[in-house]
Amino acid sequence: MDPIYLDNNATTPLLPAVWDAMRPYAVEAYGNPASAHAFGRRARRGLEDAREQAAALLGAHPDELVFTSGATEANNLALFGLSGDPPGRLVASPVEHPSVIEPLNQLAAAGFTVEWLPVDGQGVVSPAGINPAAGLVAVMLANHETGAVQPVCALAEWADGAAFHCDATQAVGKMPVHFHELGVTSLSLSAHKFHGPKGVGALLLRRGAKLRPRTWGGHQQAGRRPGTESAALAVGLAAALDLACRDMQRRTTVVRSLRERMLTGLHGSAAPLTLNGPAEGGLPHTVSVSFPGLKADALLMALDLAGVACSAGSACSSGSLLPSPVLRAMGVPDAVLHSAARFSLSALLTPADIDEAVRRIAAAVRRLRQNLPAAQARD
């Protein structure tokens, strides 16, 4: 039985063309980019070309791009680095990734006040009733669990001069992202979400924004993120982003049609189910559905045995079996909350993969539903 990978919001496979672009910088041009000799100069050239290419693809200046180990580090760098000193007021959406929520909790413990923006039933954030006067506002571009796209441009205008951090990890490579047009102060991304390597991401930071570094001990990247840079990983990020941008229209069309196929198939063979997040207008890569009555962890295990890889809520909370804080913030009923499965797609999948996945999901759902009364009797 061939496994079917439907967990592309957790991570995506590295494309062979990306590996080909990176490999020379791992094996041959292995110098330290800070070294003045020929080995170092070659690595530095690769690193700075990658910075220029990635920044241009995202509508930023090269000196506005700071390479990091991924989006978790970039989010931490932005939130701790731009929030200033307590006491201050921070405003954020409650549907952010834990790598934004947890730093905000830490800042709250350090004396900041954190206010949460309202979210509607589709997972879309609005500023209604919230005072924009804040030291820092944080709202993501596309949600990792529902695919909801947030009105970041409008929110940045509403924030009117406050520093604004946007976690664009699930959006970059999947929809056009132009840093300056979004009007935000900082923006985070991670290469492994768009078929690049794991362990590299970036923080885009507006020229002139005052960032307090999180780590100290080197002059690299203007001291904003000291430490030896990996030219190979940076080249991988830029190559993956370049491919994603050039192929975006085709990939989006493919993924949109796979999503429709999957939803039609599931409605036909695994009803009743509910779709979490926007039916239209979100990123089509995410199919979050609930099978009321079932338990998400039991379904996930059954699907793993059946060779379908997916996730319950976000990958980071699925290990702990806690219900998704994102769906909770959207106010979904308990039965929907506890039975949510997130299938996330990529353009590498085929219609036949989707048909087979739907067949396996429907079989698992039917079997679990048959067992439901007995299981409930045991409880």
Residues 193, 197, 198, 203, Cα dihedral to 10°? -70
List phi, psi (to 5°) of 137.
Answer: -120, 140
Distance of alpha carbon 120 from the chain centroid: 20
Q: Is 329 in the site for ligand PMP (CB under 6 A)?
A: no
The only residue of 103, 201, 284, 325 in contact with ligand PMP, by rule CB under 6 A: 201
Spatial separation of the C-alpha atoms in residues 202 and 371, rounded to whole Å = 47
Q: Segment 209-268, which members bind ligand PMP (CB under 6 A)?
A: none
Which amino acid belongs to residue 313? Answer: G
Tokens 């979490």 belong to which residue?
A: 276
Integer-rounded Cα Rg, in Å, for the chain is: 21
Non-local (6+) Cβ contacts of 110 within 8 A are 86
CB of 99 to ligand PMP, least distance (A): 5
Nearer to ligand PMP, 71 or 240 (CB): 71
CB-based closest residue to ligand PMP: 70
The correct pick among 8, 93, 150, 170 for binding ligand PMP (CB under 6 A) is: 170
Alpha helices, DSSP H, located in the chain: 16-27, 38-57, 71-82, 98-109, 152-159, 179-182, 231-246, 248-269, 296-305, 315-318, 325-329, 334-337, 351-378
Place of tokens 């609005």: 126
342: contact with ligand PMP by CB under 6 A: no
Candidates 42, 44, 144, 225: give the one binding ligand PMP (CB under 6 A).
Answer: 144
Q: Which of these ranges, 20-28, 163-171, 178-186, 207-215, lies near ligand PMP under the rule CB under 6 A?
A: 163-171
Catalytic residue among 153, 166, 245, 316: 316
Q: Segment 74-103, which members bind ligand PMP (CB under 6 A)? A: 97, 99
Write each residue from 112 to 141 as x if it is in contact with ligand PMP (CB under 6 A), else as -, in one continuous string.
----------------------------x-
Q: Is 60 an interacting residue with respect to ligand PMP (CB under 6 A)? A: no
Interface contacts to ligand PMP, rule CB under 6 A: 70-72, 97, 99, 140, 144, 167, 169-170, 190, 201, 315-316
